[in-house]
Amino acid sequence: MDNQGPDNQGPDDQGSKGRGPHARVLQTLGPAITSGDCPPGTVLRTDELEQRFEVSRTVVREAVRVLESMHLVESRRRVGVTVRPAEDWDVFDPQVIRWRLAGPDRPRQLRSLTALRSSIEPAAAALAAEHATPEQCAELTEHALGMVATSRGQQLAGYLVHDIAFHRVILRASGNEMFARLGDVVAAVLTGRTEHEVMFTDPDPEAVTLHVRVAEAVRERDAERAEAYTREITVGALRELDILAP
């Protein structure tokens, strides 16, 4: 019974560098907490975790330290490792976002993220219109056209790639490092939307057109139009959610 974990999540790590005991513990404990499997107030003892994962204190402690830095748990002497209430969690931590998107909290998480997105992206587009380099403008146009090309005939995978790339460029071109960092979040939302069969049919042609218009506006340095069209895109995304789960 070496690696015969009783409730192992499985060796299918999709991208979260899952080699090493440390990562294994982290990638098990993190989701367990964010999924509500270990509800707030739950107390974990270090030696109990040692046995459960069959690793040394070193590994457990390092994993706990990381969870602590995400405000998922609090470690106190004579008490143990306590799971903190959800409102304390660092919900902006990409790792936490991924865990929650993979858990039962997914719908709520997608809503939050979409709302965040629709307030950020228009502003980012306006800034992008002012700061985008010619190369970035070219990329935008390229991906907008790519979206047009893949918008019909069940080419959702290809469409998604261009969609994500498009929004990534916008966020990066804004020149604001914090906006740029949200590229991963937007990618997660868009991917989630496709996966979650919200878009099992071809994308809304109007949305496709809007992307083309945004690319135009940015190229022409028209911040106002870039912002307005982007807002239409994100408002559409919000409406989509409301229709699906009011």
Partner DNA sequence: GGACCAAATAAGTATGACTTTTGAGTCACG
Partner DNA sequence: CGTGACTCAAAAGTCATACTTATTTGGTCC
Q: Is 62 in the site for DNA (CB under 7 A)?
A: yes
Please name which of 156, 163, 169 lies closest in space to residue 207, comparing C-alpha atoms: 163
> What tokens does 113 get?
């993220």
Which segments of 102-204 does DSSP mark as H helices, in order?
Answer: 106-131, 134-149, 156-173, 177-181, 183-195
Q: Is 244 in the site for DNA (CB under 7 A)?
A: no
Q: Which does 2 bind (CB under 5 to 8 A by kind): a copy of itself, DNA, none?
A: none
Q: Which is nearer to a copy of itself, 52 or 61 (CB)?
A: 61
Q: Which is nearer to DNA, 46 or 119 (CB)?
A: 46
Q: Is 136 in the site for a copy of itself (CB under 8 A)?
A: no
Using CB under 8 A, pick the residue from 44, 120, 128, 144 that binds a copy of itself. 120
Identify whether the C-beta of residue 97 lies closer than 8 Å to the C-beta of residue 214. no
Q: Is 78 in the site for DNA (CB under 7 A)?
A: yes
Q: Is 55 in the site for DNA (CB under 7 A)?
A: yes
Q: Is 206 in the site for DNA (CB under 7 A)?
A: no
Q: Is 44 in the site for DNA (CB under 7 A)?
A: yes
Q: Which does 80 bind (CB under 5 to 8 A by kind): a copy of itself, DNA, none?
A: DNA
225: Cβ contacts below 8 Å, ≥ 6 apart: 129, 213, 216, 217
Q: How far is Cα 67 from Cα 96, in angstroms, rounded to an integer?
A: 10
Bridge partners of 43, per DSSP, are: 82
Integer angstrom CA distances of residue 237 from 62, 181, 182, 233: 39, 20, 16, 6
Using CB under 8 A, pick the residue from 31, 122, 146, 192 that binds a copy of itself. 122
Which residues in 138-153 are b (16+ Cβ under 10 Å) and which e?
Answer: ebbbebbebbbebbee
Identify whether the C-beta of residue 211 lies closer than 8 Å to the C-beta of residue 233. yes
Q: Is 161 in the site for a copy of itself (CB under 8 A)?
A: no
Q: Is 94 in the site for a copy of itself (CB under 8 A)?
A: yes
Sole window of 48-56, 89-97, 216-224, 234-242 interacting with DNA (rule: CB under 7 A): 48-56
Please name which of 226, 228, 124 lies closest in space to residue 175, comparing C-alpha atoms: 124
Where in 2-31 is the site for a copy of itself (CB under 8 A)?
22
Amino acid present at 190: L
Q: Is 17 in the site for DNA (CB under 7 A)?
A: no
Instruction: Give the residues lining the site for DNA (CB under 7 A).
Output: 20-22, 44-47, 54-59, 61-62, 64, 75-81
Instruction: Give the residues lining the site for a copy of itself (CB under 8 A).
Output: 22, 58, 61-62, 65-66, 69-70, 86-87, 90-95, 108, 111-113, 115-116, 118-120, 122-124, 127, 176-181
